[in-house]
């Protein structure tokens, strides 16, 4: 895996903090740890040069000076071969990735004993910890890929357990479809709607088939031949490659130029299968889960959450 930074240029921050200022000392320590600084010795911190790190160190240097301490930001250029090796070695994250993979394995082995909400919270914490680690992994190796693969697998196993019948990803490319052939149709998907099926049904009725009728299936094999199936294995529209059903519908019917729908697709993807975080995800998940608990059946649920997706679409449009 290619390093994100060169080993030719480095930044050294040399600090001296006033002894009585415990609060300042803790703020500085936490901030420099969050940047992933290596400690050369007490009060001397090292980072590779580039990608906004100089500005971040300069900002902390100013804070230290304003707090009554001293701080000097130094350039370390053209180190010897031995120094480059030693410096890079200070940023080896392999043990941190191993510990994260161990935690992911422990979650996967024991999540069946947790309720769904507790398991989701643990998965989100693991995803957040991976993102924090990746952000300070300036010279990534195999550990990063191993941790990402382990977490993706854990998320997939969790979803398969918590949402029986969740479709696998079909191979191949998304086929373009003509909206005219999908007007006034009966559409069918698994009952007990969750995010991808909620959003897909909203998308169908809002942008593809305004007169769509929906059938909620106890099992995919109950889908009648005249119905357009979505979000189950073998359905007309389901997961393809890395796309969830909502994203497949966008691609199938040429709606990807609509940036607001693409943003909404990213949110649906995040909540359905994980992956790239979306700022609004936690709040939207809570609202949709509440609607699911309140509504008596899937017809009432779709009517309720359609207003939520209308609002999200309007917000992303702005």
**CATH 3.30.70.930 domain span(s) along the chain:** 9-89
Query: Residue 203, Cα to own-chain centre: how many angstroms?
Result: 22
**CATH 3.40.50.720 matches 9-89:** no
Q: Name the pLDDT band for 1 (thresholds 50, 70, 90).
A: low
**110 pLDDT higher than 60:** yes
Distance, in Å, from the CA atom of 103 to the CA atom of 151, rounded to the nearest integer, reads: 10
pLDDT at 116: 75
**113-122, 277-286, 301-310: which is most confident:** 301-310
pLDDT at 6: 85
User: Whole-model pTM?
Assistant: 0.62
Contact 258, 317 (CB under 8 A): no
For residue 35, give every residue at least 6 positions away whose Cβ sits within 8 Å of its Cβ, in sequence order, or none. 47, 53, 56, 57, 136
What average pLDDT does range 285-306 have in this prediction? 94
- Output the six-digit token pair for 262: 């693409």
Distance, in Å, from the CA atom of 277 to the CA atom of 242, rounded to the nearest integer, reads: 15
pLDDT digits (tens, 9 = 90+) for 236-287: 999 999 899 999 999 999 999 999 999 999 999 988 887 778 889 889 999 9
Phi-psi region of 294 (alpha: psi -120 to 50; beta: other; left: phi over 0): alpha
- Average pLDDT over all residues of the chain: 91
Percent of the chain clearing pLDDT 70 (strictly above): 97
pLDDT at 12: 96
pLDDT at 284: 94
Contact 9, 49 (CB under 8 A): yes
Walk across the sheet containing 213-217 and list its strands.
213-217, 186-190, 228-229
Distance, in Å, from the CA atom of 86 to the CA atom of 69, rounded to the nearest integer, reads: 29
Q: Name the pLDDT band for 163 (thresholds 50, 70, 90).
A: low
Number of other CB atoms surrounding residue 58 within 10 Å: 14
- Output the six-digit token pair for 155: 């998320």
SS3 for 178?
Answer: coil
pLDDT digits (tens, 9 = 90+) for 74-92: 999 889 999 999 999 999 9
SS3 for 143?
Answer: helix
**311 pLDDT higher than 70:** yes
Residue 317 to residues 66, 272, 306, 314: CA-CA distances in angstroms? 43, 22, 16, 5
pLDDT digits (tens, 9 = 90+) for 29-87: 999 999 999 999 989 999 999 878 999 999 999 999 999 999 999 999 889 999 999 99
pLDDT at 71: 95
pLDDT digits (tens, 9 = 90+) for 150-162: 998 888 788 767 6
φ, ψ of residue 38 to 5 degrees: the values are -90, 150
Closest by alpha carbon to 309, among 280, 274, 277? 280
For residue 53, give every residue at least 6 positions away whose Cβ sits within 8 Å of its Cβ, in sequence order, or none. 11, 35, 47
């Amino acid at each position: 895996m290619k390093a994100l930074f060169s080993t030719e240029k480095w930044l050294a921050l040399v600090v001296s903090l006033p002894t009585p200022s415990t609060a300042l000392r803790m703020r500085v320590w936490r901030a420099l740890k969050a940047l992933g600084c290596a400690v050369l010795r007490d009060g001397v911190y090292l980072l590779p040069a580039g990608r906004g790190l100089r500005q971040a160190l300069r900002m902390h240097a100013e804070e230290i000076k304003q707090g009554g301490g001293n701080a000097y930001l130094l350039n370390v250029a053209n180190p010897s071969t031995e120094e480059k090796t030693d410096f890079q070695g200070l940023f080896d994250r392999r043990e941190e990735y191993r510990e994260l993979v161990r935690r992911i394995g422990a979650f996967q082995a024991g999540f069946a004993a947790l309720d769904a909400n507790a398991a989701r919270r643990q998965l989100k914490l693991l995803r957040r910890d991976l993102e924090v680690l990746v952000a300070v992994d300036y010279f990534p190796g195999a550990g990063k890929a191993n941790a990402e693969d382990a977490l993706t697998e854990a998320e997939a196993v969790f979803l398969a357990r918590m949402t029986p019948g969740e479709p696998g990803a079909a191979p191949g490319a998304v086929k373009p479809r003509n909206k005219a052939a999908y007007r006034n149709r009966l559409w069918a998907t698994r009952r007990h709607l969750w995010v991808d099926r909620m959003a897909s049904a909203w998308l169908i009725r809002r942008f593809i088939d305004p007169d769509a009728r929906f059938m909620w299936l106890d099992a995919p094999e109950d889908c009648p031949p005249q119905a357009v199936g979505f979000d189950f294995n073998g359905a007309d529209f389901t997961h393809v490659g890395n796309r969830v059903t909502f994203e497949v519908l966008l691609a199938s019917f040429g709606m990807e130029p609509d940036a607001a729908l693409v943003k909404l697709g990213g949110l649906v993807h995040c909540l359905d299968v994980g992956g790239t975080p979306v700022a609004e995800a936690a709040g939207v998940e809570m609202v949709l889960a509440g609607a699911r608990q309140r509504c008596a059946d899937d017809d009432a649920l779709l009517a309720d959450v359609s207003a939520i997706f209308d609002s999200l679409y309007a917000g992303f449009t702005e």
